[in-house]
A and B are shown apart, each in its own frame.
Chain A
Amino acid sequence: EAGVVQSPRYKIIEKKQPVAFWCNPISGHNTLYWYRQNLGQGPELLIRYENEEAVDDSQLPKDRFSAERLKGVDSTLKIQPAELGDSAVYLCASSKGQDGYTFGSGTRLTVV
């Protein structure tokens, strides 16, 4: 089993530029999560999908962040435009209902 796959692993961009992260969850996992982890802190949930529906996006900064999960499998998280404070690790996780909760290795974003 490949686990949760994220790309890219690292991304450096200038402020005001757009950036996108991609996540491929474990096969058969209907629930997908995006978390953000600031330096020295634990991960915090941004959005949760059940299949293709975003069922909890209350913590997603909607002015500049967007996400989609077309066909209920892969997902992308986008930031446009990026700000210096968006520098963090963006983690994707997936689960099959309440079971098998697994995190990917994350994308480390640096905004300069």
Chain B
Amino acid sequence: DAKTTQPTSMDCAEGRAANLPCNHSTISGNEYVYWYRQIHSQGPQYIIHGLKNNETNEMASLIITEDRKSSTLILPHATLRDTAVYYCIVRVAPNPGNQFYFGTGTSLTVIP
């Protein structure tokens, strides 16, 4: 699975959009981009995933560049409960080993 690069930490004002970047310059054509988040003392929680088109669900939007070498997770109106570590993961789907390779993620702090 391709390696990803994320900033170590970010701050965002409550009510504003949080834009979390991820670089995956070695991504292969059959690899999807997944985003998970982990709130303190909880397990990772699925947010969204996509292949090449932009995706939106009730939690967030995922913007993938045309060359697929980077992506941005957007939380449109950040709340204090969005404070968490956000993991960007690229992997083939379906995945033979069906495991996720987590990096160190981005620690997002939403400020009142």
Contact = CB atoms under 8 A, between A and B. Distances in A.
The secondary-structure label for the interface of chain B is loop
B63 to A, nearest CB: 23
Contact of A103 (B43, B94, B103): B43
A40 B43 contact: no
A105 B41 contact: yes
- Which of A41, A43, A108 is packed against the most chain B CB atoms within 10 Å? A43
A8 to B, nearest CB: 13
Interface in A79-112: 91, 93, 95, 98, 101-106, 108
B45 A40 contact: no
Interface residues of A, number: 22
Contacts of B98: 31, 33, 48, 95, 98, 101
The secondary-structure label for the interface of chain A is strand
Contacts of A108: 41
Nearest to B46: A101
Contact of B104 (A41, A91, A102, A103): A41
